[in-house]
A = this chain, B = another copy of it.
Amino acid sequence: MISVVIVGSGNVAQNLFHAFQNSADVTVKQIIGRNREHLAFVQDNALISTEFTSDISADVYILAISDDAINSVGESLKNAKGILVHTSGATPLDAIKYAKRPGVFYPLQTFTKGKIISFHDVPICIEATNNKDLETLTILGKQLSKNVVEIDSVQRKTLHVAAVFANNFTNYMYTMGSEICTEHDLDFSLLKPLIAETAAKLNTLTPMQAQTGPAKRGDQKTLHNHLQIITDKHQRELYTLLSNAIKEKHGKKL
């Protein structure tokens, strides 16, 4: 049995709390948040604290808070005997090096307010300063996911950059598609099966193999026609830049 204290009341904290509550081998001993109202998802009031220090003894203290709060909030727990971890992709372990046993427990996923997700496939990227702590974090991670991986701070930072492309920038492409639909009185929902299948293709193909479209084919006629439709300056700039990039990547002469 591993005991944990969760610090935070946001999407990550809420999802971790829910997942650990459903795990037979993890006890959540406390959940700490500045604002009691934000912890309404915790039904057992006895678990709630609004004090950012913890007298509770636990194996792992999890900082599930925004990146810029990790250093300062973590410091109030620096004397804890358990492992103190943060859950951030962009933050090095060193940000909490004042802890007796600093670590990282980074679930590589995007979380949505009010949505409880399954961690089963979510990579849990862990880091610690000694093998014993790595082992504890592995056991804890395995309670949530089949995929627990040791990733150091440098690799995690790079992984986070890749995640920005795969998630943030991808979502921005959806935004552009949605805007173009709205501007022309088309229902964006028409694109949703396409979007789902675009993601699903990666189960069998690499993104290089999965690439299709006029730029990939070097189909100048369609590219030209599309640019006649796109009137927004920013959309045109993006369309041209990305089409040229795809052409170049797939060996079509510009």
Could you list which residues of chain A lie within 8 angstroms of chain B, going by C-beta atoms?
67-68, 90, 108-110, 112, 115, 117, 121-123, 125, 147, 149, 151, 155, 157-178, 180-181, 184-186, 188, 190-208, 210-216, 219, 221-222, 225-226, 229-230, 234, 237-239, 241-242, 245-246, 249
Contacts and interface: CB of A to CB of B under 8 A. Distances in A.
A81 to B, nearest CB: 31
Contacts of A173: 165-166, 169-170, 173
Contact of A161 (B68, B180, B215): B180
Given A67-B222, A108-B194, A166 B161 contact: no
A82 to B, nearest CB: 27
A119 to B, nearest CB: 9
A110 B190 contact: no
Given A198-B199, A199-B199, A241-B241, A213 B168 contact: yes
Nearest to A166: B177
Nearest to A183: B158
B191 A163 contact: yes
A167 B198 contact: yes
Contacts of A115: 204
Given A167-B195, A191-B166, A198-B110, A225 B172 contact: no
Contacts of A178: 162, 206-208
Nearest to A89: B222
Given A155-B186, A175-B208, A180 B165 contact: yes
A128 to B, nearest CB: 19
Contact of A246 (B168, B188, B222, B241): B168
A213 B161 CA distance: 10
A215 B168 contact: yes
A238 B229 contact: no
